[in-house]
Every structure is written in structure tokens, then in C-alpha cells.
Chain A
Amino acid sequence: MRAEFKGEMPGVTTNAEFCEELRKRLLAQPERPLLRVAVAPDFERPVEFTAKDSLDRAGQLASSLGITKERCVVLLLLPHSPELFLVHLGLVLNGHIPAILAWPTSRVDPEKYQRNLVHQLCHLPADLLITLPRLAENLAGSLPYPARALSVANGASVEKVFPVAPVSERLERGEFPARNAPPTPDALFLQFSGGTTGAQKAIVVTAGMLAHQLKQLGEALRFSDADVVVSWLPLYHDMGLIACFWLPLWHCAGSVQIAANDWVMNPELLLKYTARYKATFCWLPNFSFSYLALRGEQMQTYSLGGMRAWINCSEPVRSKSVAEFAAAFAESGVKKESLHASYAMAETVFAVTQSEPGRKLATVQRSRVRHENHAHSGLAFDLIDDVYVSSGKPLPDTEIKIVAADGSKCPDFVPGEIHVRTPSLFSGYWGAEGFQTHSLSGGWHATGDFGFIADGELFVIGRFKDIVIVGGNNIFPEDVEAVVNSVSGIHAGRVVAFGVEDQEFGTQGLAVVAEMKDEFNEDAALELEATIRKLILTAIGTAARYVSLVPQKWIVKSTAGKISRRETRERFLRERISLG
């Protein structure tokens, strides 16, 4: 039987009401398998929790932390594990405000990572850090708030990369922000929206915002307790946290969770679990469609016909990637009607639009789009595909308008900046400065993304903001530039980071161009490149695809004398690499 929890949810506006409603939903079906977490190396037997187990274990874990103060902001720095999912839930249910930080890749230099971490964490006005025992011990003396240990499944093998020695890094007390109040009285949890250096900031998610998003997205997808989500997306990503964890949780539906690292090396797991657990929903960034198609030939054949929606989200949707995936898995039962797309962002909790279940994705030929808005020619990113793919219609209660450079509203097929208005919209950020209200014009949020509307559906075709999206992860060029600027031998302030298209996987690679301080020579450039690459991997968490050391005055400035990212990128593409 499918229970759809339709209609209004009277009284779900405060945290207490939200938690009460969640408990009620989960305890209505206490024995239903709710959460399955695959933990390496035993992928055959994911750790399973029923609805009641999940509630009980979440409560035990949160209580075991011994937090005495009310409404604490608790940073969670933990690897993929059952405990991460459950302690996040338990803290919410206990009235605290958790915020999940990205766990580092195993490829970082552990000592540099820890030093960098101290700088990041000291600038956040949190009350507590929860992390693995060795890291908690190492960081304890360097943070302005306690670091408490939590052991997790497989934690010992993960944390062994860290040395058994306290971090020597100390910041002056005067550099710490004041910690005096929770972000907002109604904050349920915090979602970091990107930013890996001291400038990290989080979206404040309230019970009202979350309940609204889960209800609207659930209705758009006709999601019910009979559904099962399979996911490899990390919880620090809005797609992993909201679509793949909170949506099934709220509907008392099952979810199967795989670690991102495990999936990248073993993409077949996703298909295996889809077949085994009869999964019906799977959210993936665009590159995953290309990647799965590429690896498809070497995989066993699984029965995938039960999947209601493979949802392409968090990177621009490329028709090539979707078509490759459909062709590679047609014999496994993947139907074109099951290929979907969504436009989402942490600022609206998650989804803004969603394509309609059971209908093929709409497309529009590039030639039909009227690129007449010349003031928009300075885009940071622009799709060059012949066919644009729809991201679907706005969720109920969500409004979208396309705005031209002169502020007027664009008609259908004319692209401009995407503006969004929804009850799920955020009201501010939490970060080093505490809570800061985000000002909106008439309730509209200017997204910085570029697109058009046709027949009521949104097509996202570019962006003004300089975010680089690598495999679904947002990377802010300013963060990369700040990190590289700290390298001696680099002309400070003369560093530019940007994205370069990866046609094979339908995503982007990170590129950095840096001017040398002294006279250019090849040997010094090679040494600097090695330093920069290692630093980016440690501080940003992803490797740069290209690092190019150049002589002074190579980076292009605008006529106003400012560094031009766009023109430097064009020069780099023209002179430094061949995109084949």
C-alpha cells in the first residue's frame, strides 16, 4: 500500500512540530527497512536499520555525545558511515543544529590538511566538533570549542592516515568569532553551500523550509513509502542530504547509501543495489550518466526496469550524457520515460523544478533559442550543445522568471538570469560573521544561472557566476585563487582559476593560471606547479586538471584594469591546451 501523506501538514512549522511529525511517521511503520548503508569492504551486506531502529539509534548516538547546552551548533566531520546519517538525525531530533562538513579525500597530505582545517574551523562560530577519535585528539588543543570523538564503522581504517600527534597550529584568540547565539531561533540544520577556505558559509534550513520542500518535491514525484532511493551522493551535498536522505526519511521510504569514493571505483554497485533493493529513485550529477554508460559494457546485466526516475541534477543536463546512458542500459530495462531532470540549489533547500514522472524529457534545438540579449555575452559558462534539455516545471508554490540584463522579464525562448521565489527560499547564511540576512528583492532570489522558459519548462544553459562544477561539486574560483596566492614564488593577486569543459564525461575540470613572481624559467615553474597541485588537493579537496605557470603580465586584464577570468580562460584555451 502506498501512503502518500498528501495535503497540508497542519502545525509543521516549528522544529518541535517537525520532529514530532517525523517520529509519528516513522513509528507508524516501525519495522519498515529505512536506511541501508554500504560500508567497505563488505558491500554484500549493507548495515540495515528499520524505522524504529533508526530513531532509537539516532537518539542514543546524539545523547552519547553528552551535550548539556541547548541548541548547539554541532559540526560533523565524519566519513561515510551509518553513524553520520544517524547522528545528524539524532541531533536534529534533540534540538541541536548539525552542519555536515566534507570528509577529505584519502589523497590529501594529512598534516597539511589538519593545519588547514584548524584555520577553517576556528573561523566558524560553532559550539562543538564531532569527528573520529584520532582527529578529535589532534585538533582538541587548537580549536576554540571542544572536539569530541565518535567512533564509526570502518573509522579505524579511515583515520589511520592521520598522524598520532596534536596539531601544532594555533590561532590568536582575537581571531576567533564570538559564539553567542544559534544562527536563527528556528534553524533545524545548516547546509554548507560550498567554499572550502576561511570563507565557508552555510545555508540555514528551518523546519518550515524543509517541510515545504519535502512536501512539494514528494508531490511532484508522486513519492511514497513504497519508494526506495539509491544514492552515492555525500551528505554534505544538498542532493545527498535532502533528496537522498531527508526525502525518503520523511516519507518512511527506504534508502540505500554508498560512499562516493566507493562508487567512483565501483560504479556497478549502484546498479546492483538498484536491482537488489528494487530502487525507484536515483539522483545523479550529469557526469555520472556518461561514466556509467562508459563502464556499462564491463558490468553484469541487472534488472533496472523498476526505476521510476533517474534524475539528472546539480550539473547542466547534457543530451549526449542522457542519450549514452539510455542506450547503454536499454537492454537492462531503462526506459526513456524514466530519465528525468531537476534544477536545484541549497538556497531553496533543494529542488526548484522537476520533470514530470512518466514523461520523456522535453528538448529544444539551440537554433530555436533567441540569443538576442547581447548584454549577457560575458557568461562564465555557456552550454554549446545543439540540443538543450528541460529541467522540468517549477514545483508547486515555486515561481520562476527569466530576467534580461535591463531588468525586464524575458518571453519564452529568450534566455536571461533565472530568478526564483518559493516558501523554501533561505533567509540568510551562517559563517564566520555569524548569521547574516540575505536581502531579496520582492522575495525573489537572483540565482546567477542563465536559462530560458519554453512551454512552462525551465532550460538551464549557462551561468554568470564563476562557480566551477567538477563532478557535481561546486568549487569557488576565489577559494582556489586564495590558496594559490599564498604560495611563495607566485605573484600575489595574479592567479586565476576557472572551469574547462570535459566533453567525455559532460562535466568540468579545474584549471589554474598563476604568474610567477620572478623571471620565468621552466625548472622553477615545474617546482611551483608541484607545490600548487598538492596544496589545491589538500585545501580544496579535488585535484586541478590544469596548472599553468606563466610569466608576468600574461593574465588578461579588463579595460578597467581588473583581472578578467573570462578572457584569461579564453587565452588559456587558445594557447595552452588543445581540447581535441
Chain B
Amino acid sequence: MMPDSSTIRTAAREAASEIVGRPVKEGWRLVTSGLIDSLSVLKLIGLLERRLGITIPPETLQPEDFDDVDLIVETVERVAKPHA
């Protein structure tokens, strides 16, 4: 079952904070501000997948789809699938 929006948002904020190394506030740009690099985007995806029990198929995604907490939530809700 897919987690709800609020769970995704909490996980997104925690995962982003872990990658950045400090608490990430709503609205902070992560990718276009140069706060996280491409490999860190991949680590962020990995963290979200593990914590939410989902798979994020990246085929149609760009790093910009993870640019802030709102976008991460939107991206996860749009493309993620629960683990079988």
C-alpha cells in the first residue's frame, strides 16, 4: 500500500536533512541551489525507497524532480509503487 502524503512529506524532509547534513526547511531548493549533487539525489531516492517501502522508477525523472520537499512529495506520489 502506498503511504499517505503526510508520511511521504515527513520521510522526504528527514531523508533530505540526512543527505544535506542539517535540518532542511520547506521550500529549500536542493538541486538547483547546488545543495546536493547528482549522486546525492540517487542516495535520496534510495533512502525514500527504503523508508517508505516503495520503488521509485527513475526512467522519466530528472534530478530537478527532487528539488524541494513539495516536489519530492509530488514526484513520489506520481511515480512510486509500493514494494510487491
Contacts and interface: CB of A to CB of B under 8 A. Distances in A.
Specify whether A and B are partners. yes
Nearest to A507: B39
B37 A509 contact: yes
6 tightest CB-CB pairs across the interface, nearest first? A533-B34, A537-B34, A543-B37, A543-B34, A265-B58, A266-B59
A167 B55 CA distance: 43
A504 B33 contact: no
Contact of A544 (B34, B61, B62, B64): B34
Interface in A62-114: 105-107, 109
Given A107-B63, A502-B39, A266 B58 contact: yes
B21 interface: yes
22 contacts: A43-B59, A106-B64, A107-B64, A264-B63, A265-B59, A265-B62, A298-B55, A298-B57, A471-B39, A504-B43, A510-B37, A533-B34, A534-B33, A535-B34, A536-B34, A537-B33, A537-B34, A542-B37, A542-B38, A543-B40, A544-B34, A545-B37
B46 A265 contact: no
A41 B60 contact: yes
Interface string B58-76: 1111111000000000000
B46 A294 contact: yes
Given A261-B62, A533-B33, A534-B34, A545 B40 contact: yes
A287 B58 CA distance: 18
Nearest to A530: B33
Contacts of B32: 107, 109, 537
Nearest to B40: A545
B55 A471 contact: no
B59 A543 contact: no
Nearest to A41: B60
A299 B55 CA distance: 11
B28 to A, nearest CB: 9
B22 to A, nearest CB: 10
Q: Give the one of B32, B34, B38, B55 with max A CB within 10 A.
A: B34
Nearest to B56: A298
Interface in A154-173: none
Contacts of B43: 504
Interface of B: 21, 31-40, 42-43, 46, 55, 57-64
A509 B35 CA distance: 12
Interface string A260-282: 01001110100000000000000
B61 A265 contact: yes
A543 B64 CA distance: 13
A471 B38 contact: yes
Given A291-B42, A294-B46, A298-B55, A543 B36 contact: yes
Contacts of A268: 59
Q: Give the one of B31, B33, B64 with max A CB within 10 A.
A: B33
A535 B33 CA distance: 9
Given A261-B62, A471-B38, 5 more contacts: A107-B64, A264-B38, A298-B57, A533-B34, A543-B35
A575 to B, nearest CB: 14
Contacts of A545: 37, 40
Nearest to A260: B38
Interface string A337-361: 0000000000000000000000000
A504 B47 CA distance: 13
A172 B40 CA distance: 40
Nearest to B60: A41
A537 to B, nearest CB: 4
Nearest to A540: B34
Contacts of A261: 62
B20 to A, nearest CB: 10
Contacts of B39: 287, 291, 470-471, 502, 505, 507, 509
A560 interface: no
B35 A533 contact: yes
A395 B33 CA distance: 44
Contacts of B35: 533, 543
Contacts of A294: 42, 46
A536 B35 CA distance: 10
Contacts of A265: 58-59, 61-63
A138 to B, nearest CB: 20
Contacts of A505: 39
A577 interface: yes
